[in-house]
Structure 1
Amino acid sequence: MYKIVDKRQLNKDVDLMVVKAPFVSRKCEPGQFIILRADDNSERIPLTIADYDREEDTVTIIYQVVGYSTQVLRTKEIGESVKDFVGPLGQPSELKKHKRVLGIAGGVGAAPLYPQIKKLHEMGVEVDVIIGGRSDEYIILEDEFKKICHNIYFATNDGSKGKKGFVTDVLNDLLDNGEQYEEVIAIGPLIMMKAVVSITKPLNIPTAVSLNPVMIDGTGMCGGCRVTVGDETKFACVDGPDFDGLLVDFDECMRRQNMYRDQEDHVCRVGLEGGQKNA
């Protein structure tokens, strides 16, 4: 069992949880993820490592409450435990000592972006960041990013913070104003990452993206996380989750992501109405 040592709600849909996980905290690197089960009856769900503290033996995860398993996770309190916390899984991000990098986060994508930007900052890289959300409420980790970023920009759908519009609007503004970056790291909804790549690819700006398709076992055996990168089939759980965004088939990823939406809706209804035993 893995004890929850801290927990807070970042907004009405997103929680931050700090878990005592000595082995994971000592081995993990930016870009990697864990798979957890909230309790005996829960499914296995992958969550990116948002931060870690090797001295305290803790790992921080941030999750959006969208399905039944994350609803169960939200009910857990400080002092309680989660059943399984397996990791670190996946490949660490390939972070290069560029002079200048731009990070782009959409919604909860700020969580996996943060450890990469933090590591780049420690490497002496100058980093700018664009963070997007539906409104000011959905901008997360603002204070943490401000401590490590050279410039930070915001985009919200309703204009309540930063530019009214999307992260790609801010990206276009920066590029039109002559800002130059050796690499872009974009993490967020697939449609957002696809839109970012549609801008960076014609300009030949290297762009890394993080893919989180359907994952079951996290070892590459089930094949549920197949993605097409260039002319190759990759498995996000063992080959990723970070890939060259200029080569990713985003349309295929989006089709696969929606395959089990009806089943997830059913599980949520049954679970909420009848409890975990009936799920």
Structure 2
Amino acid sequence: MFKILKKETLANGITKMVIDAPLIAKKAQSGQFLVLRTHDKGERFPLTIADFDREAGTVTIIFAQVGRSTKQLGALPEGGEILDVVGPLGVASHFDPSIKKAAVIGGGLGCAIALPQAKHLKQMGVSVDMIAGFKTKDIIILEKEMTAASDNLIITTDDGSFGMHGFVTDALKKQIEDGVKYDIVVAIGPIPMMKFVSQLTREYGIKTIVSMNPVMIDGTGMCGGCRLTVGGETKFACIDGPDFDGHQVDFDAAMRRLSMYDGMKEREEDCRLIQMADKAEDK
């Protein structure tokens, strides 16, 4: 059992939890993730490590309550316990020590995963610009933390309600055209966002790392749900990544795989109604 030491609501439906897990905290590194299970009949699901404190023996997760399992996790109280927390899993992020200037880009909830990457680079002595994109000001998270982890924080909103009006690609392009020379760009968030960031950086010849954690399911390579094509080869995000060269990832194939699950809830509801009708006929 793993005790929830602190629970905080960052925005509507987005929760931050600090978990007592000294053995995991001892080995955790940026880019890695955990697999959790809230109760003995619950499903296993992965969440990226948003932060860790080796001295305090804690790991932090930030998640959106969108499905049954994340809602069950979000319902647990501060002081409550999570049945299973396994980790750290995945290949830790590795950055070339020669890097001098980096742009770390987060899209929405992806900012929670981009934050430890920025902190990692900052600790290496790298000058870090963070670009954080949100749909609107009401769902902005971690502004204070991102400010502390970077030399320059640029927030964009799709509707212009806060910061720069536009997308993260607009902000990145402006930085580049204004003469900022990046050695590396790290982009984490929705797959379309990472795709367009990678397309932009390819034009300028800037090395780009993306985190393919959005496609992970069981986190062990068993289910095959996170199968990717990277540089023409088959990779699994959970065991080969989640970090990959953004210029090598086939984002279109990844999006097609995810679209296979569109409408699943509707099909489940249809099956439920059919089962109910069959039971009624049996009676």
> Could you say whether these structures have the same fold, taking a TM-score greater than 0.5 normalized by the shorter chain as the test?
yes
Distance 1:216 1:108, change over 3 A: closer
Q: Which runs of 5+ in 2 are unaligned?
A: 272-283
Q: Aligned residue for 2:125?
A: 124
The alpha carbon displacement at 1:213 in A equals 4.6
Structure 2 residue matching 1:201: 3-state secondary structure = helix
> With structure 1 as the length reference, what TM-score do the two structures score?
0.92
The alpha carbon displacement at 1:232 in A equals 0.8
The alpha carbon displacement at 1:263 in A equals 3.4
More deviation, 256-265/30-39: 256-265
Q: Does 1:19 align with 2:19?
A: yes
The alpha carbon displacement at 1:18 in A equals 0.8
Inter-partner Cα distance in structure 1 for 2:151 and 2:216 = 35
Distance 1:159 1:53, change over 3 A: same
Q: Aligned residue for 1:177?
A: 178
Report the structure number with the largest CA radius of gyration. 2
The alpha carbon displacement at 1:137 in A equals 2.1
Inter-partner Cα distance in structure 1 for 2:268 and 2:66 = 12
The alpha carbon displacement at 1:233 in A equals 0.6
The alpha carbon displacement at 1:219 in A equals 2.4
Structure 2 residue matching 1:95: 3-state secondary structure = coil
The alpha carbon displacement at 1:164 in A equals 1.0
The alpha carbon displacement at 1:264 in A equals 5.1
Q: Aligned residue for 2:169?
A: 168
Q: Deviations over 1:48-67 (max 9, x none)?
A: 00000111111000001111
Q: Aligned residue for 1:62?
A: 62
State the one-letter code of the partner of 2:26. R
Q: Does 1:113 align with 2:117?
A: no
Q: Does 1:88 align with 2:88?
A: yes
Q: Summarize the alignment of residues 206-225 of structure 1 with structure 2, pairs less than 5 Å apart.
A: 206-225=207-226
The alpha carbon displacement at 1:253 in A equals 0.9
Q: Aligned residue for 1:7?
A: 7
Inter-partner Cα distance in structure 2 for 1:79 and 1:268 = 36
Inter-partner Cα distance in structure 1 for 2:136 and 2:13 = 13
Q: Is the 8 A contact 2:45 2:218 kept in 1?
A: no
Q: Aligned residue for 1:193?
A: 194
State the one-letter code of the partner of 2:100. K
Inter-partner Cα distance in structure 2 for 1:51 and 1:268 = 38
The alpha carbon displacement at 1:4 in A equals 0.5
Q: Aligned residue for 1:257?
A: 258
Inter-partner Cα distance in structure 1 for 2:26 and 2:270 = 38
Q: Aligned residue for 1:277?
A: none
The alpha carbon displacement at 1:256 in A equals 1.5
Inter-partner Cα distance in structure 1 for 2:55 and 2:244 = 30
The alpha carbon displacement at 1:267 in A equals 7.2
Q: Is the 8 A contact 1:67 1:264 kept in 2?
A: no
Distance 1:264 1:15, change over 3 A: farther
Inter-partner Cα distance in structure 1 for 2:101 and 2:73 = 38
Q: Aligned residue for 1:37?
A: 37
More deviation, 104-113/220-229: 220-229
Structure 1 residue matching 2:4: 3-state secondary structure = strand
Q: Aligned residue for 1:48?
A: 48
Inter-partner Cα distance in structure 2 for 1:247 and 1:229 = 5
More deviation, 239-248/253-262: 253-262
Inter-partner Cα distance in structure 2 for 1:210 and 1:81 = 29
Q: Does 1:204 align with 2:205?
A: yes
State the one-letter code of the partner of 2:138. E
Structure 2 residue matching 1:29: 3-state secondary structure = coil
> With structure 2 as the length reference, what TM-score do the two structures score?
0.91
Q: Is the 8 A contact 2:190 2:214 kept in 1?
A: no
Q: Deviations over 1:63-104 (max 9, x none)?
A: 011111111111111111111111111000012231100011
The alpha carbon displacement at 1:153 in A equals 0.5
Inter-partner Cα distance in structure 2 for 1:19 and 1:266 = 36
Inter-partner Cα distance in structure 2 for 1:267 and 1:178 = 52
Tell me how large the CA RMSD over aligned residues is.
1.8
Inter-partner Cα distance in structure 2 for 1:214 and 1:175 = 30
User: Number of aligned pairs?
Assistant: 270
